[in-house]
Structure 1
Amino acid sequence: MLCLTVDTDPDGLSGKVTDRNALLWEGLEKLQQLPNELAGFGKLGRIPITWFVRADGQLESILGNPAYLLETYHTFWTDAQAFGDELGWHPHLYRQPRADDTAFLITDPIEAQQELERLWSKLKGTLHPTVFRNGEGWHLPETYATVERFGFRCDSTAIPGRVGASGHPMNWEGAPNQPYFPAADDLRKSGAKRLLLQLPMNTWLVQAPYDSAPRTRYMNPAVHQHLFAKALENWENACNVSPVDLSIWVMIFHPDEVLASRGEDALYSRSTKSLCMNLVAITKTLRRIGHEFEWVTVSEAAERWNKHQERLSA
Structure 2
Amino acid sequence: MKTKIPVLICIDVEPDEFFVSRQNPEPWRGYELTHAYIGEWRSALQQRTGDAVHVSWFIRMDPQVALAHGRASWAVEHYPELFQQAIDAGDELGAHVHTYRWCGNSGDWLDDHGNDDWVAECLDTAVEGYRSSFGRTCRSLRFGNYWSGTEAINRAEALGFRFDLTIEPGLAPNALDARKPAHSGDLPDYYRVPREPYAPSRSDFRRRARAGERDITLLPLTSSHLRYGWGPRSLGQRFRRLRNNGLQHRRQDTPLSMWRDWRPPNDFSRMLDRAITQQRRPYLAFAIHSNAPVEPGSLPRIERCLQALTSHPERSRFVFCTPAEAMAILQTNASGHPSGHAPGALSR
Q: Same fold (TM over 0.5)?
A: yes
* Aligned partner of residue 173 in structure 1, secondary structure: coil
Among 3, 13, 26, the residue aligned to 1:8: 13
Q: CA 1:63/1:248 → structure 2, altered by over 3 Å: closer, same or farther?
A: same
In structure 2, how many angstroms separate the alpha carbons of the residues matched to 1:37 and 1:238? 27
Match of 1:236 in 2: 273
For the 8 Å contact 1:206–1:230, the answer to whether it is kept is: no
For the 8 Å contact 1:153–1:195, the answer to whether it is kept is: yes
Deviation, 1:276, is 4.3
Deviation, 1:150, is 1.2
Q: CA 1:306/1:155 → structure 2, altered by over 3 Å: closer, same or farther?
A: farther
In structure 2, how many angstroms separate the alpha carbons of the residues matched to 1:186 and 1:4? 26
1:175-194 matched pairs, under 5 angstroms: 175-193=193-211, 194=214
Among 123, 130, 143, the residue aligned to 2:152: 143
Match of 2:340 in 1: none
Deviation, 1:78, is 0.8
Deviation, 1:65, is 0.5
Match of 1:174 in 2: 192
Matched, 1:49 2:58: no
Match of 2:123 in 1: 116
For the 8 Å contact 2:98–2:122, the answer to whether it is kept is: no
Q: CA 1:238/1:143 → structure 2, altered by over 3 Å: closer, same or farther?
A: closer
Range 195-204 or range 169-178, more displaced: 169-178
Matched, 1:299 2:324: yes
Deviation, 1:31, is 1.5
Match of 1:132 in 2: 141
In structure 2, how many angstroms separate the alpha carbons of the residues matched to 1:61 and 1:21? 10
Q: CA 1:44/1:61 → structure 2, altered by over 3 Å: closer, same or farther?
A: farther
For the 8 Å contact 2:276–2:283, the answer to whether it is kept is: no
Q: CA 1:134/1:237 → structure 2, altered by over 3 Å: closer, same or farther?
A: closer
**Root-mean-square deviation over aligned CA pairs:** 3.4
In the TM superposition, what whole-angstrom CA distance separates every residue of 1:39-83 from its partner, at most 9, and x where no partner exists? 135646753110011110001111100111111111110111101
For the 8 Å contact 1:21–1:102, the answer to whether it is kept is: no
Deviation, 1:251, is 1.0
Q: CA 1:190/1:48 → structure 2, altered by over 3 Å: closer, same or farther?
A: same
Q: CA 1:201/1:190 → structure 2, altered by over 3 Å: closer, same or farther?
A: same
In structure 2, how many angstroms separate the alpha carbons of the residues matched to 1:133 and 1:228? 31
Deviation, 1:222, is 4.3
* Aligned partner of residue 113 in structure 1, secondary structure: helix
In structure 2, how many angstroms separate the alpha carbons of the residues matched to 1:130 and 1:70? 17
Deviation, 1:294, is 1.2
Give the letter aligned to residue 299 of structure 1.
A
* Aligned partner of residue 58 in structure 2, secondary structure: strand
Match of 2:309 in 1: 282
For the 8 Å contact 1:205–1:231, the answer to whether it is kept is: no
Range 54-63 or range 182-191, more displaced: 182-191
The alignment's TM-score, normalised by the length of structure 1, stands at: 0.78
In structure 2, how many angstroms separate the alpha carbons of the residues matched to 1:77 and 1:162? 31
The alignment's TM-score, normalised by the length of structure 2, stands at: 0.71
In structure 2, how many angstroms separate the alpha carbons of the residues matched to 1:250 and 1:238? 11
Unaligned ranges ≥5, structure 1: 14-18
Matched, 1:163 2:181: no
Larger Rg: 2
Matched, 1:195 2:221: no
Q: CA 1:155/1:227 → structure 2, altered by over 3 Å: closer, same or farther?
A: farther
Deviation, 1:97, is 6.0
* Aligned partner of residue 11 in structure 2, secondary structure: strand
Deviation, 1:117, is 2.8
Deviation, 1:307, is 5.7
Matched, 1:78 2:96: no
Q: CA 1:31/1:154 → structure 2, altered by over 3 Å: closer, same or farther?
A: same
Q: CA 1:12/1:226 → structure 2, altered by over 3 Å: closer, same or farther?
A: farther
Deviation, 1:125, is 3.1
In structure 2, how many angstroms separate the alpha carbons of the residues matched to 1:202 and 1:21? 34
In structure 2, how many angstroms separate the alpha carbons of the residues matched to 1:149 and 1:20? 30
Match of 1:254 in 2: 289
Q: CA 1:283/1:178 → structure 2, altered by over 3 Å: closer, same or farther?
A: farther
| Corresponding residue pairs, total | 290
Instruction: Specify which structure has the bigger relative contact order, considering alpha-carbon pairs within 8 angstroms and separated by 6 or more residues.
Output: 2
Q: What's the % identity of the aligned pairs? A: 21
In structure 1, how many angstroms separate the alpha carbons of the residues matched to 2:200 and 2:217? 8
* Aligned partner of residue 39 in structure 2, secondary structure: helix
For the 8 Å contact 1:58–1:96, the answer to whether it is kept is: yes
Give the letter aligned to residue 136 of structure 1.
N
Match of 2:73 in 1: 67
